Structure 1
Amino acid sequence: MKNQTKLLSGLAAAMIALVAGPALAEPLFWSTQAKPVEESQKMRADVLSKFSGGVDYQASDEGPWRTRIEAELKAGKGTITVLGGLHGELSGLENNLVDLSAIDHVSIGDGLMQLGKLGTSEQKYIPWMQATYLMAADKKALQYLPQGADLNSLTYDQLIAWAKATAEATGGPKFGFPAGPKGLKHRFFQGFLLPSYTHSMVSNFRSAEAETAWNKFKELWQYTNPASTNYSFMQEPLLTGEVLIAFDHVARLADAFNKRPDDFVAFPAPAGPKGRAFMSVIAGVAIPKTAPDMDQAKALVSYMLKPETQVATLRATNFFPVVKTDLPADLPPSVKVSGPAITAMTEAKDALPTLLPMGLGDKGGQFNQVYVDTFERIILAGQDVKQVLNDQAEVLRSLMKDTKAPCWAPDAASDGPCPVN
């Protein structure tokens, strides 16, 4: 009798399932971001749990991530609803991504949206989250700002004038730069200074405009604390008062903001003749043409852009929002200090986003060394700017040919290796 009851229960359940039809699967969000177990769990529990029907968030290294999506594209059908990845990871898939132009993105800066077109006329991905580098200053230095200067829209000339005035008023150079062995100095030259004068990271490396940029940095170096050649993290000399104005990655300024949030301000990088260049670590969301449910996929992309979702993503990943939003009071002080500065920089009218180097394989360190060597020869050794740029341009050209790496923003797209003019 007991076995008969179990059998009838099983048959009833099967009949209900047949009538109701197959259960709808959660949309698969296939991502290269938030890979650590703790971050992935936060993405599922804190970021995506409020999406209607739930989301199956799966994070992977780039290799398996690309292998799976390419297999689905080749098969002409798939299970991936939404892709999440860095700009460089999504690049190359543009012919197989849905146009997202119709999705509301009004609160995302035009510069970031342009990156998401991946060189096409369509919106191939929509920016999802970002990290970057910023300027920081002790509030005691604000009194030395040039008359009429706006902290959120400084030029390099104004930064130099500010550093000079601060040095004269305080009895010594107080600009700080991460020029130490483990400092991220190369990112400043690659993504900020040179593009601001040349609209290029690679092609115009030895142009007349590049000479101007390096000569401007020579001016700034006069008012830079000599101990900068030992600095790797600028938060420490800011806290000790060795420097009053500094540049660094947001994560390397965080301690200063967290320990003394009322004493420091964050602000955008300066602008040059070609714009306010800044290096972004941009992650985007895209929909493959093989997504099983386009309406569901677009709804999920829209959900990721909601201000509340963006804040939840910040908590889960420490990547900042790409949309305009007020940050809640219970976030760490470093987030509250950095957030508005990042927004001001990315949404500036003269914003010029630049990207991390791409396509270099295991030669990324050699690429960075070109900029480090250029800095050391021009700034530290005082060698002739034009001669150094000519020499280093040949090293750079050889590297680009060896790796066959095509150009990335802000350089114009190239067929084959990015040219060094």
Structure 2
Amino acid sequence: MKKTSATLFSVLVLAGIAHAQTNVISTQMRPVEEAAKVRTIILAGAPDTVNFIPEDGNTYFTRMKAELSAAQGKVHATIALDGELAPVNQIGGLSDLDALLKSLSASREFSPAAVTLGKFGGKNQRFIPLMTNTFQMAANKKALQYLPKGANINALTYDQLTAWGKAMKAATGESKIGFPAGPKGLMHRYFQASFYPSHTGGIVRTFRSADAEKGWASLRELWAYVNPRSTSYGFMEEPLKTGEVWVAFDHTARLLPALMEKPADFVVFPAPAGAKGRGYMPVMVGMSIPKNAPDRAAAERVIDHMTKPATQALLMKEIGFFPVVKANLGTLSPGIQLAADGMNAVFAAKDGVVTQLPVHLGAKSGEFNKVYVDTFTRIVLRKEDIKTVLGEQAKVLNDLVQETGAPCWAPDVSTNGRPCFVD
């Protein structure tokens, strides 16, 4: 009911003031506090009045399809992950932004890698890079005394994480590791960014491999030292701040409030490595203009504002997302600096296995994510037979791949454009 109400509210807001303001739909910066900062701080210097409207990522594609069905839409610009923009691009819903990129590049320097992602493998620019981030881990300094002997926190292995959790539980009587495995958490990204790439070197093709079986067995062992309330956690900031959890995995922006409030209490570090390396997922957020936007010039003005170096610095300081243009960040607060150092450690890991967001599944992305969460529920929480579950869930994955024709993406080995079926 809440999702429906939120969507109806968005429609009503757009219908009432479609032409009075520049309407920006965003799947990012949706939490109430973040959205308030966007409206009052980030957009304060925009040349036009901007109506910033958060949209659930699960309903974003449906919302955009409905928007694009009209001769003239009400949305001027949209902010979303590259994986969320991809299906909109696949149905021809995004404008070419080559001229805008050229104009903006005269006054700011974009990351070349980010610009390339905005082409979706084609010739034309379909989104302007806005900001980037990744997933990492945070630990209360109280936990450091229980690290396994000889362990390097920036080069931790999954076996060492399990030993760490076991030692903390032995000393405190509590399970002090936490994951965002609740309904609003990003547990599916944990499996896609860290667990599967680290243990198997892939995400889809290796889904039911012998390496996957070993990985799931090790996660089941680790879970004995994971706080049971993890299945209700959406954001790891609060459990870290209260001390209910000492060691946690999450998106940097969802760890940031704890780091900013108590920077002296925490350390941050990359997720553990498995047999195939240390999986990580760069998160790219872009801004696009729908094909039927009511006022392209207004859309371009808000994109110009959001990608100015000064605004990029604000996004980092206020929201915790990192710039995609060269910007003078000045003196960062201790919490932001901590998050930035952690992100740099993730990207600098010598055994890193880079993982892309799923970008070829269109409207089926939600169902794809659900496969990994369902597999976790059955294997780890319900303790069902690992091989049986992987076999059954592989069929679900293959059906989705068959329906969408999705080719492989990193780190899965390429199938040269053919559908990326489970091996």
- Where on the TM-score scale, by shorter chain, does this alignment land: which range? 0.5 to 0.7
Q: How many residues align?
A: 373
**Residues in 2 aligned to 1:130 and 1:166: alpha-carbon distance in whole angstroms:** 33
Amino acid at match of 2:269: F
Q: Shift of the alpha carbon at 1:127? A: 5.8
Alignment of 1:352-371 (within 5 A): 352-356=354-358, 358-361=360-363, 363-371=364-372
**Residues in 2 aligned to 1:230 and 1:40: alpha-carbon distance in whole angstroms:** 29
How high is the sequence identity, in percent, across the aligned residues? 45
Residue in structure 2 matched with residue 138 of structure 1 by the alignment? 140
Residue in structure 1 matched with residue 82 of structure 2 by the alignment? 87
Q: Shift of the alpha carbon at 1:135? A: 0.9
TM-score normalised over the length of structure 2: 0.66
CA contact (8 A) 1:141 1:166 kept: yes
- Determine which of 177, 180, 190 is the counterpart of 1:178: 180
Residue in structure 1 matched with residue 284 of structure 2 by the alignment? 282
Alignment of 1:117-156 (within 5 A): 128-156=130-158
Are 2:385 and 1:384 aligned? yes
**Residues in 2 aligned to 1:32 and 1:242: alpha-carbon distance in whole angstroms:** 35
Instruction: Give the direction of change, closer, same or farther, for the CA distance of 1:207–1:231 in structure 2 (3 Å limit).
Output: same
CA contact (8 A) 2:118 2:125 kept: yes
Q: Shift of the alpha carbon at 1:220? A: 1.3
**Residues in 2 aligned to 1:172 and 1:324: alpha-carbon distance in whole angstroms:** 44
**Residues in 1 aligned to 2:308 and 2:409: alpha-carbon distance in whole angstroms:** 25
CA contact (8 A) 1:196 1:274 kept: yes
Q: Deviations over 1:29-56 (max 9, x none)?
A: xx9868989848966775x99xxxxx9x
Q: Shift of the alpha carbon at 1:224? A: 1.5
Alignment of 1:204-353 (within 5 A): 204-283=206-285, 310-315=312-317, 318-322=320-324, 327-329=329-331, 331=333, 334-349=335-350, 350-353=352-355
Larger gyration radius, structure 1 or structure 2: 1
Q: Deviations over 1:259-293 (max 9, x none)?
A: 3222122222222233322233203589xxxxxxx
Instruction: Give the direction of change, closer, same or farther, for the CA distance of 1:124–1:217 in structure 2 (3 Å limit).
Output: same
Are 2:170 and 1:168 aligned? yes
**Residues in 2 aligned to 1:129 and 1:206: alpha-carbon distance in whole angstroms:** 34
CA contact (8 A) 1:178 1:184 kept: yes
**Residues in 1 aligned to 2:277 and 2:129: alpha-carbon distance in whole angstroms:** 21
**Residues in 1 aligned to 2:349 and 2:244: alpha-carbon distance in whole angstroms:** 30
Instruction: Give the direction of change, closer, same or farther, for the CA distance of 1:328–1:144 in structure 2 (3 Å limit).
Output: farther
CA contact (8 A) 1:140 1:244 kept: yes
CA contact (8 A) 2:262 2:335 kept: no
Instruction: Give the direction of change, closer, same or farther, for the CA distance of 1:310–1:182 in structure 2 (3 Å limit).
Output: closer
Instruction: Give the direction of change, closer, same or farther, for the CA distance of 1:313–1:244 in structure 2 (3 Å limit).
Output: closer
Q: Shift of the alpha carbon at 1:161? A: 2.4
Q: Shift of the alpha carbon at 1:140? A: 0.5
Amino acid at match of 1:87: D
**Residues in 2 aligned to 1:268 and 1:109: alpha-carbon distance in whole angstroms:** 24
RMSD: 5.0
**Residues in 1 aligned to 2:271 and 2:402: alpha-carbon distance in whole angstroms:** 32
Amino acid at match of 2:397: L
Q: Shift of the alpha carbon at 1:347? A: 3.4
**Residues in 2 aligned to 1:244 and 1:156: alpha-carbon distance in whole angstroms:** 17
Q: Shift of the alpha carbon at 1:186? A: 1.9
Unmatched tracts of structure 2, length 5 or more: 1-23, 30-34, 54-59, 69-77, 289-299
Residue in structure 2 matched with residue 375 of structure 1 by the alignment? 376
Unmatched tracts of structure 1, length 5 or more: 1-30, 50-54, 68-82, 287-296
CA contact (8 A) 1:109 1:347 kept: no
